[in-house]
Amino acid sequence: MDNGPLSVESAPTPDDHYAPRATATIDLAAIESNVRRLLDAASGADVMAVVKADAYGHGLVPVARACREGGATWLGTALLSEALELRAAGDEGRLFAWLATPGDSFAECIQRDIDLSASALWMLTEIAAAAKRTGRTARVHLKVDTGLGRGGTTEADWPQLLASARRWQDEGSIEVVGVWSHFAYADEPGHPTIAQALETFRRSIELAQAADFSLEVRHIANSAATLSLPESHFDLVRPGIAIYGLSPGPAVGTPASLGLRPAMTLTGRLVHAKQLPTGHGVSYAHQYVMPRTGTVGLVPLGYADGIPRNATNRAPVWAAGRQRTISGRVCMDQFVIDLGDADAVAGDEVILFGPGDQGEPTADDWAAACDTINYEIVTRIGPRVERVFQGRGA
């Protein structure tokens, strides 16, 4: 092997089989299995599979179909446009969307039989006005803030929201079918805010029922609560991250201990391999310097694809038979790995993360390396990365 700094491997011939530069392979069978596991954990409650943010980066429509196959009777999205996309793709089941902005597409959602959230008076007013324009009754879930301090009406303002909803329902514009909320600390079982949130939630339900609303669904449980807090299940649970085979937090358990299987495997292909000598800097600002003469490989994935920039010199990958660490700064479109004495050529596969079956890193490993959570690792994978679906419905 040439020890010169600019030694280049032979280029593939035009007849070589084409492989994408990067793929996120989605195991739809794992999605189905995870939904069935959560349905079992829900102990009689229905499951709303949360497929917001392009199904946490896994692909909205194929994942939604897999969730339905697994037994999810509801699908949940943040944006109204996401729910409308599911309707346009042919989903006919119950849908719920909750994160609206003033002037949003309430009327279209009402026409497409999508349940809507109202967490403030302006929202309830706009939903009712849109319902009047369509001539249809809007199905509404009222949201109460049980301690998260984010969306939802405070407990102090809850009676006012109920009174307004009662007026709109009496005139036929809306039907209040649900009351819902979010936990702040469900991923830390036993945290004192959990009991406080449940107490506030129950009081809010009682007030809604006293206002003569016949509630179809009451829901507050996320993935962590679905798996560890049966008293929070009520009529419906809303797992998100667990649908994708990832744990909602270390205190809840590992994917294996929870009976979940990670669904996404992110891979890239080397586009260049060469030798660099001892002391040669790698990537911008030379934040990595070759400790010895060896092979480096160029992976065509970068922060424009969702690879965290702070993965620089920290995040693990599987390449040339073992785990290695990103070497040097992550760039917009690419990063480098020091392969040591390993042989490598363009086209060789590099696994960034997956289920861990082959010894490859997992999304949790990446989250730990980048000081973040597994939610962010999978959700940020961008549209330039080709999604490949495996399993029924692929």
Strands of 272-276's sheet in order across: 272-276, 294-299, 335-340
Residue 44 CA to residue 237 CA, distance in Å, equals 10
- Is residue 91 within 8 A of residue 114, CB to CB? The reply is no
Q: CA angle at residue 352 from 350 to 358, to 5 degrees?
A: 75
> Partners of 390 in the beta sheet?
27
Q: Is 52 a catalytic residue?
A: yes
Helices 60-70 and 28-41 pack at an angle, to 10 degrees, of 50
If you write DSSP's letter for every residue of 33-88 in order, what string do you get? HHHHHHHHHTTT-EEEEE-HHHHHTT-HHHHHHHHHHHT-SEEEESSHHHHHHHHH
Token representation of residue 126: 């706009």
- Catalytic position from the list 18, 244, 284, 303: 284
Token representation of residue 124: 């309830």
- Surface-to-core class of residue 95, CB atoms within 10 Å of its CB (0-12 exposed, 13-18 middle, 19+ buried): buried
- Element of type H or E holding 128: helix 121-134
Residue 179 CA to residue 185 CA, distance in Å, equals 20
Token representation of residue 67: 């969730």
**Residue for token digits 């696994």?**
351
Which residues neighbour 25 within 8 Å (Cβ) at sequence distance 6 or greater? 264, 265, 266, 267, 387, 388, 389, 390
How does DSSP classify residue 144? Answer: B
- Catalytic position from the list 52, 56, 132, 375: 52
Q: CA angle at residue 87 from 84 to 92, to 5 degrees?
A: 140
Residue 336 CA to residue 285 CA, distance in Å, equals 13
Q: Annotated active-site positions, please?
A: 52, 284
